[in-house]
Amino acid sequence: MFAIRNTFEDGELDELYKIECECFAKEFRWTERVFRKALLDARKKSQVWVATISGRIAGFLLAGEENGKASIETVNIPRVHRRKGIASKLIAACERDMAKRGFREIKLEVWTENPAFILYFTLGYRVNGFKRNYYRLRAHAISMGKKL
């Protein structure tokens, strides 16, 4: 059975970080210390969503806020669960909740070489900028946004 919850248990932090490590090369992922702090802070603000299938974690989304706009910080889906619509469902849950909280826009940044930008475009996000050297190793990012 598929479900999305707007929180996680402390005991799930290790598993969530394993997913982070699977999804991103070392140059792009957060350090474990930064990751844990970001997730714990986001949980206090109800800005993290976890997808489960039969009680097992199948992905998560971490959101935030910046300059009055909601932001998607990361959407992580393990390889075994990709192409099942989980990322789309997590994004939809985040968008609904952020709209209920009064946000009118949501934004994200994505590495120029990450094929996820196609998913974001399909979900209504549009390119609104380009960030040179946004990531370590001078990798560039595409800024995308959507009205809620």
Query: What is the identity of the amino acid at 147?
Result: K
Pairing state of beta strands 105-111 and 69-76?
Answer: parallel
What is the residue range of 44's domain? 2-147
What pLDDT tens digit does each residue of the chain (148 aa) get? 999 999 999 999 999 999 999 998 887 889 999 999 999 999 999 999 999 999 999 999 999 998 889 999 999 999 999 999 999 999 999 999 999 999 999 999 988 888 888 999 999 999 998 777 766 667 788 899 999 9
Could you tell me the CATH number of the domain that includes residue 64? 3.40.630.30
Q: For the chain, what is the domain count?
A: 1
pLDDT of res. 137: 66
pTM of the full structure:
0.93
Q: Whose CA is closest to 65, among 94, 35, 37, 86?
A: 94
- Can you list the pairs that 131-134 forms with residues at least 24 positions away whose Cβ atoms lie under 8 Å? 134/109
pLDDT of res. 84: 96
- The answer to whether 102 and 119 are in contact (CB under 8 A) is no
